[in-house]
Chains A and B, each alone.
Chain A
Amino acid sequence: MLHLTKTDREDGHAAGSFFADYGPVDAGRFDEVFFPDGTPRPHWRGLLDWLGGAGEAGYLDAAQDLARLRTESGLAFAASDAAELSTSDALPVVISAQDWASLERGIAQRARLADAAVTDIYTDRRTVSAGLLPPGVVYGNPGFAAHCAGWKRPPRHWVHIYEADVARTASGQWVVLSDRLDTPLGDGWMLANRIAASQAYADLFVDMGVRRVASHYAAFQEHLEQMMGWEGRMALLTAGENDPRFFSHAYFARYMSAALVEPADLTVRDGAAFVKTLDGLKRLDVLLRGVPDESIDALHQPWRAAHGAPAMSLAARSGAVKIVNAIGAGAFAHRALAPYAHRLAQHLLGEDLLLADAPCLWLGGERAREQVLAEPDRWRIEALTSAASFDPPGDSDEPWEVQLARYGERLCAVETPELAQAPAWVDGTIRPGPWMMRVFACRTPDGWTVAAGGVASVVENGRRPPALGFGKDVWVLPEEDRARPAVVNSLLGQQASTAHLRRTGRELLSRVADELFWLGRNAERAEAVLRVLSVCLARHLSGNRSDSDPDVLTALAGIHIRPNRNLAGAERYADAITRLVRGTPDGQGLPAILGNLRSGALRARASISAESWLFIDRLSSDRRWRAQGPVRQNAALSKLIEDGLLALAAFAGSAQENLTRNYAWRFLELGRRIERGMLGALAAERLAGSVRDDEATYLRAWLTLSDSAAAYRSRYMLTPQPAAVADLLILDETNPRSLAFQMVALERVLADMPTEIPYRRPEHRRALSLLTELRLTDPDSLMVATDDGNRQVLDAFTKRCEDDLAEISNLLSRAFFAHAEAPEALLIQARMHNIEDDA
């Protein structure tokens, strides 16, 4: 602490007070900020000065901005760590130009080495026959993809994108902790983190001349475009929204102008890979692979890859699709390269290895196993190719010796050396901590380059590295002579000018069309439920006796939830409203609808605007909906419902305004109209299906629910009459809430759907017939009641509406979404049944 006060005075950097708890720099441990004598390293000067000027308040402002920007980038739906991250340390790590240059060279060499090693084991296997690699490293591991070995025309490159976890040791040397080859693509996290940090620290970021990453990715895009050729198509394959890497996949796909696809969107025909779109199959040229090796090909690895895209490796074998990284690259993921990197670099590249590995032993050898057993505290045992900790199956009482011998080839022992320290914001002050970072490299037309920056984290010594989603941004300073690099725009701004221009609206993934359709339906259903709640609540709170009659309110709630017959009056109503708001165990009620809405929006996120997504996310993630116990009908609930309706209106408006009228919009619209039509018919039946004593209050409820009370008053200015209300809510094509309006809109969209047949499609004909019937109906005969008070004509009519709309929905599914259906494994040959049994 003493020397820091000195530093503060002598060097005039004003950040001294921040570092009051930093402690003296230990001469034996490299410190990123300070020299051993306590003076700051020159490349940190900019940040320290800024901290001194901004003070704690300034820093906290920036930290808060960073948290907000990260959340807005979509992290909110990405990970459960989100809450943790929003409050985490916002201090970047600054790295000098020279320091970075040497790391960059080492990482680029490492990537070349990985590509050479992967290429070797799937082609002539010189590394094994020459004794550079023990056979067990290659063949004893699940990472080796035998179905990708020995091809006549192997890919030119197997590795195109590479990530490494690196750290600086206490003595100041960079070391590699993990090679990430199987499904890197964490670039999305890094980019989102970087964009957030550059905005939160806007002026400082520019003043320090922090190197940008956009040109790196522009070069990668160029490389990918060379691979896919003119008019080529590129996609990024993700396992879907439940994959913890989904955020990064979605973000990176958007950044690189690649379509985001899931395994079920892909199919292999005639040795080529295709994407299933509304317009049929579209050939795929380059696939960025976010699904691990072992689960990508359902045909070749049926047990492990049940949800993979069948025969994907076949399309790769023919060369029709280039996979980034190729299937099989995982053989050298994590630590398989580490024990042999020195000699492999010499033999495969003819170079000395530039970047060493943290100590690592492959446990396929007896001597390594003995060493680990002799020094159990020094080593951590992990799976060789996946970074998973070793969790022996079966009898865990067996001695380690036996277990290590049994599974040795699949394991490695790693030691995390003492690490250099970097500053972190912890509990309101800055403290030093050992740190590591993830860096991102990719192939470009001019060879490998490394994105200038990374994602860093302060770690606990000797523990497994943390999952590096978001973290501390890493700032690389420019060479002295180009302190202000040319401004390179982020790729996000350029995307419309490149790949997107050749994509037509019709190239909508069948799966996404399916999801948009259901997104439309769920949004409408959520709105309908909220509307019912809103009307119920307003009436309940109004104090007006006829309006707040529990039977009317129960009838309203009954549109969406079946009232409990064993209860009556106010009790029955309270029960219905609670179940509607809190949900039922069998998945009815609002929570399930909001859950479906959010998950649908998430999956269709690539096709809706960022803004539209935010409205849905805000509504569905609102914690207030997750309360438990009986529903209290008070102003708080009323506010909650109002917020929800506003969010849905904003979503509808934003979809209307921001989606071009392409297929994406049409499927959303179809879903919305069908749902609104069905629920409108249901409301008519529940609220006006029979003549009641206090009919006027039911009709008023129906009008309010349909947002048409004002329209009615302006037209009739009298107590609601059944025929007049029915005319407005069912037959009037100019009222946006009427059934007829939905049918007109539905018919219009259906008329525009793609068709290969010369006459109208079946779902279109069905809609036309229903619309025609509506147009031929008059309100008086519709509302005629029998002696027992039932409106049979209305009942029959609403029933027909519901049935026809359900059928239109089914016909649409069959016509447009069938492609999206996922493949299933065929039965495997029944074995050894007796021939007598067959006979």
Chain B
Amino acid sequence: MILEVRHRTHYRYAQPAVFSQHLLHLTPITVPGQRVALSHVQIMPEPESIDSHTDFFGNAVHVATVSRPHGELEIMATSRVDRTEANGLIFSATAPWERVRAAALGLENQTPVAELGPLAFPSEMTGSDAAIEAYVRDSFTAGRPILSAAEEFSHRIYTDFAYVPGSTMADTLPVESFQNKKGVCQDFAHVMLAGLRALRIPARYVSGYLRTTPPEGKERLQGADASHAWVSVWDPTFGWVDFDPTNDCIPGVDHVTLAVGRDYSDVSPVSGVVVGAGNQQLSVSVEVSPAGQDAA
């Protein structure tokens, strides 16, 4: 399924800003099940410079600098991606989770798998506590196939947590959202990551989108209005497999992957600094529709 994404971010400043700098993770990356056909980012006013590079996690990053006075700024990201359903996953056939941990940590005389190390440890925003540790252990029993355990873990978070927009902030930590058993997709993903990494199981935070126009007869998915987030878990046979604890599903044709990292702070779609702006007003809109179909 070909999906078209239009992601608009708009800042309005109380006073003309003399300088602003923006760190963008707005270009979808190529992952299994996702091919990127087209992507571009347009900024108004036109930046004096845009630096593009690939970061440590393989994401496409842009840093845009605007150094003329400007009272507002618009960032428009447009992309077209081809998504396929995740097929042929046999969770019960995956490796025991302890083996995946050993592969990440280089235990039991294994050569560490290079891409797993950076994702196996609690990061800035995925620290855990005793409660989260007890919670994750209920799913990760000894020798259990990693993806079976991950699927169940994701399902339990979906069941036990309430999706309540506005109940958390962008920098809320999982220890807090776990205690309150509520939050938004970012918190669901952070709780799942905190649990996995408490066991030193490598897992990545996935930033992306959901289709905003549901297929006929289906309900809109939660979190379909702006950026979405979910989690990816690794198995030696199947590689990275996504789990969406907010919607209790395996992301497929309705999800679009933007960037991956240790947590939100690695892949925040739009962040930055500004000089002299005073109060800021931010508005964001996201449309994700099948190609050729206008957004509602």
Give A residues with C-beta under 8 Å from B. Answer: 125, 128-129, 131, 134-136, 138-140, 142, 144, 146-147, 149-150, 152, 267-271, 298-304, 310-311, 314, 317-318, 393-395, 398, 402, 406, 409, 818, 821-835, 838
Contacts and interface: CB of A to CB of B under 8 A. Distances in A.
A267 B276 CA distance: 14
A402 B171 CA distance: 26
Given A302-B271, A303-B171, A829-B227, 17 more contacts: A125-B114, A129-B111, A134-B106, A135-B104, A139-B117, A142-B124, A271-B49, A299-B272, A303-B265, A406-B122, A822-B275, A823-B274, A825-B272, A826-B270, A826-B273, A831-B186, A832-B165
Contact of A269 (B22, B67, B224, B266): B67
Contact of A135 (B49, B117, B175, B284): B117
Given A135-B112, A829-B269, A824 B277 contact: yes
Of A303, A824, A825, the most chain B CB neighbours within 10 A belong to: A824
Given A303-B265, A829-B269, A139 B56 contact: no
A300 B225 CA distance: 26
A29 to B, nearest CB: 41
Nearest to B281: A827
B223 A832 contact: yes
A567 to B, nearest CB: 42
B20 interface: yes
B247 interface: no
A834 B49 CA distance: 34
Contacts of B48: 269-270
A831 B106 contact: no
* Majority SS at the chain A contact face: loop
A821 to B, nearest CB: 5
A310 B273 contact: yes
A299 B112 contact: no
Nearest to B163: A832
7 contacts: A128-B114, A128-B117, A140-B122, A152-B53, A310-B21, A394-B175, A829-B226
B128 interface: yes
Contact of B268 (A128, A318, A829): A829
B147 interface: no
Nearest to A310: B273
7 nearest A-B residue pairs (beta carbon): A135-B117, A140-B121, A823-B273, A832-B184, A827-B282, A826-B272, A835-B225
B56 A150 contact: yes
Interface in B165-200: 165-166, 170-171, 175, 184-186, 198, 200
Contacts of A146: 55-57, 118, 261-262, 266
A270 B49 contact: yes
A139 to B, nearest CB: 5
B18 interface: yes
A88 B122 CA distance: 44
B114 A831 contact: no
A125 B112 CA distance: 11
Of B54, B124, B226, B273, the most chain A CB neighbours within 10 A belong to: B273
Contact of A830 (B55, B118, B282): B282
A281 to B, nearest CB: 9
A268 B271 CA distance: 16
Given A268-B65, A269-B67, A831-B227, A135 B9 contact: no
B92 interface: no
Contacts of B224: 835
B20 A135 contact: no
A88 to B, nearest CB: 40
Contacts of B21: 268, 299, 310-311, 823
B129 interface: yes
A832 B262 contact: no
B237 interface: no
Contacts of B280: 826-827
B112 A129 contact: yes
Contact of A128 (B67, B112, B129, B212): B112
Interface in B225-256: 225-227
A669 B2 CA distance: 68
Given A129-B114, A298-B273, A134 B226 contact: no
B63 interface: yes
Given A147-B56, A395-B129, A821-B275, A826 B114 contact: no
Contacts of A838: 225, 283, 285
A134 B275 CA distance: 42
B46 interface: no
Contacts of B283: 830, 838
B138 interface: no
Contacts of A402: 130
B105 interface: yes
Contacts of A268: 21, 65
B126 to A, nearest CB: 12
A603 to B, nearest CB: 20
A818 B277 CA distance: 12
Contact of B23 (A149, A300, A409, A830): A300
B247 to A, nearest CB: 13
A402 B280 CA distance: 44
A373 B250 CA distance: 42
A310 to B, nearest CB: 5
A822 B133 CA distance: 41
A416 B112 CA distance: 33
B106 A395 contact: no
Contacts of A270: 48-49, 65
Contacts of A138: 117
Nearest to A403: B130
B284 A829 contact: yes
B212 A835 contact: yes
B226 A832 contact: yes
Interface in B66-106: 67, 104-106
Contacts of B160: none
Nearest to B186: A831
B168 to A, nearest CB: 9
A269 B112 CA distance: 39
Nearest to B49: A270
Contact of A829 (B56, B111, B185, B270): B270
Nearest to B275: A823
A830 B226 contact: yes
Contact of B276 (A821, A831, A834): A821
A347 to B, nearest CB: 15
Contacts of B272: 299, 310, 825-826
Given A125-B114, A826-B11, A818 B226 contact: no
A398 B185 contact: no
A780 B268 CA distance: 70
Of B63, B266, B274, B285, the most chain A CB neighbours within 10 A belong to: B63
B51 interface: yes
Of B104, B119, B225, B285, the most chain A CB neighbours within 10 A belong to: B225
B150 interface: no
B5 interface: no
B29 interface: no
A134 B107 CA distance: 9
A379 B121 CA distance: 24
A395 B21 CA distance: 39
A314 B280 CA distance: 25
A828 B273 CA distance: 10
B130 A398 contact: yes
A299 B285 CA distance: 23
B133 A406 contact: yes
A121 to B, nearest CB: 10
Contacts of B135: none
A138 B119 CA distance: 11
A276 B33 CA distance: 48
A123 to B, nearest CB: 12
A822 B277 CA distance: 11
B120 interface: yes
Contacts of A395: 129-130
Contact of A823 (B19, B53, B129): B19
A406 B128 contact: yes
